[in-house]
Amino acid sequence: MMEFLLEPWPWYVAGPLISLVMFALIIGGKTFGVSSNLRTICSACGAGKISGFFDFNWKAQTWNLIFILGTLIGGYIAQNHLSNDNSIALASDTVTELKNIGITTENQGYVPSELFDLSNNENVLLAVLLLSIGGFLVGFGTRYAGGCTSGHAITGLSQLQVGSLIAVIGFFIGGLFITHFILPLIF
């Protein structure tokens, strides 16, 4: 059992577990939507003064802030106590494609050093810029669309919402554009 826990978990274990998390939040009287926390944080920081969009009783959303605090702790536990090593068994075509666009750190962890290493990176300014732009687009887009992967792709599709299907199609339009047309130009 422990041996299995320490290996990477296959998709047919991860998928049902994610829907179990959604299920637990629904019977907890809530919904599964991580990005709502970003709006809650804006509101808690006083953004209600500059836009009515943030003028709501954010304290009623404390449960969700606790949930993402848990997500952070879960990330720590998985990394430090439930993992043997960090290398990811990527498809060989993906590894080749990564080399073509100038990313060669695919066996050193969950993220490419070219984009995430801020201490030993000759392109540190580029990395900070990309993380900033990427993060901004995630925050702007998710609120515009009314949800992220948890709210639309998992919860929305589980409830057969057409709007969520459109949002997920949008996720792919944006993602495919960056992956196939922008990333090859950057590194």
Partner 1 sequence: MKKLYFLFWGIIFGIVLIKSEVASWFRIYEMFQFDSFHMYGVIGTAVISGIILTQLLKRMRVKSIDDKELVFQDKDFLPKKYLIGGTIFGLGWALTGACPGPMFALFGAGYYSILIAIVFAILGTLAYGVLKDKLPH
Pick out residues in 147-186 that bind partner 1 (CB under 8 A). 148-150, 152-164, 166-180, 182-183
Q: In the bound complex, what is the minimum distance in angstroms from residue 123's beta carbon to partner 1?
A: 13
Residue 22 contacts partner 1 per CB under 8 A = yes
What residues contact 164, with CB distance under 8 A and at least 6 apart? 147, 151, 152, 153, 155, 156, 157
Question: Would you state the torsion angle of the CA atoms of residues 145, 146, 150, 155, taken in this order, to the nearest 10 degrees?
Answer: -110
Q: How many residues does the chain have?
A: 187
Q: In the bound complex, what is the minimum distance in angstroms from residue 180's beta carbon to partner 1?
A: 7
Q: In the bound complex, what is the minimum distance in angstroms from residue 3's beta carbon to partner 1?
A: 13
- Contact with partner 1 (CB under 8 A): which of 9, 59, 84, 184? 9
Q: In the bound complex, what is the minimum distance in angstroms from residue 67's beta carbon to partner 1?
A: 4
Among 54, 27, 29, smallest CA distance to 41 is for 54
Residue 125 contacts partner 1 per CB under 8 A = no
Residue 53 contacts partner 1 per CB under 8 A = yes
Q: Can you read off the two tokens belonging to residue 172? A: 């792919």
What DSSP assignment string belongs to 63-109? HHHHHHHHHHHHHHHHHHHS-S-------HHHHHHHHHHT---TTSS
- Contact with partner 1 (CB under 8 A): which of 2, 11, 184, 187? 11
Q: Which of residues 66-85 bind partner 1 (CB under 8 A)?
A: 66-80, 82-83
Interaction mask 79-118, partner 1, x per CB under 8 A: xx-xx----x-xx-xx--xx-------x--xxxx--xxxx
What residues contact 165, with CB distance under 8 A and at least 6 apart? 156, 157
- Contact with partner 1 (CB under 8 A): which of 123, 126, 141, 187? 141
